[in-house]
Amino acid sequence: MKINNRHKKQIRKKAFDLGFNNIGFAKADFLSEEAERLENWLKNGYHGQMLYMENHFDKRLDPRLLVPGAKSVISLSYNYFPEQKQLENTYKIAKYAYGKDYHFLLKDKLRELVNFIDATIGKVEGRVFTDSAPVLERAWARRAGIGWEGKHSLIIQKNKGSFFFLAELISDLDFEVYDTPFSTDHCGSCTSCIEACPTEAILDNKTINASRCISYLTIELRDELPADMRSKFADWMFGCDICQDVCPWNKFSLPHNEAFFDPHPNLLQMNKQDWEEITEAVFRDIFKKSAIKRTKYSGLKRNIDFLSS
């Protein structure tokens, strides 16, 4: 379906009304720049035990193989930066996991956007995604003009920082005018994220050796945590925000106003002893419908025991 600029503005306005903090429109095409990079990343084993990253190689690079008939990729971002944070001297959780699992909220909002397009512009054929399929989200965010890829490999937006989720609508909508890819790297000579990473997981070419990343180790790794990393976790027990916390662009981050992302009241008050003594019942109460349920009680306890031993 051909989409003119008036309809494009309607879609943009609806996205902002739904709470997204940015939206961009890119033509669905083969990601030629990312092909060699992805292949080398996998060959170097930087994905660790995330063997699923080896699957659907072609679909990761071409959304038309993932969604037949696709003409465009609408990329959106949603702020999750919290107003309040955990205690200073405690075991830490990545900020994206403070509240309920973002997948539920963003999928609902994306479906609402599709329903709006169906009702006001015309029937749309496509699929919605948010970190839920072989989609190179950051590549599409850059192509859609949302931001640039920082040295820590995350998308950064001017005046907004990097604390946001990405989501996509891949569909048969064919826009008369697509947005210009974000081509300027505003990181310059800054290497704060590289220098701050305690496990040296950030390489100097915007590449992450995930097998050394604290987020990977505390969430994805199912084996025993590597003993030689014990002193390098900086008390992170689920995920890690170090590379974002030190990024100068995140001085522009503003607190979200999404109640769905508000943490359980007890979470922000828990000290190290509280975490070390956490029971499965308390875990279920605090992390009901949370992304942290992915690692389960046993996984979080493994991480806490590792940090406290």
Active site (catalytic) residues: 131
Closest C-alpha to 75, from 190, 199, 182, 153: 182
Question: 73 and 289 in contact (C-beta within 8 Å)?
Answer: no
Q: Three-state SS for 77?
A: strand
Question: 98 and 256 in contact (C-beta within 8 Å)?
Answer: no
Question: 266 and 90 in contact (C-beta within 8 Å)?
Answer: no
Q: Three-state SS for 242?
A: helix
| Alpha-carbon Rg for the chain in angstroms | 20
Residue 304 backbone class (left: φ over 0; alpha: ψ -120 to 50; beta: rest): alpha
DSSP H helices, 226-279, are 242-245, 272-276
What distance in Å separates the CA atoms of residue 299 and residue 197, rounded to the nearest whole number?
A: 23
Closest C-alpha to 86, from 281, 252, 266, 298: 266
- Residue 2 tokens read as 């051909």
**DSSP 8-state code for residue 223:** S
Question: 179 and 270 in contact (C-beta within 8 Å)?
Answer: no
Burial group, residue 35, by CB count within 10 angstroms (0-12, 13-18, 19+): middle
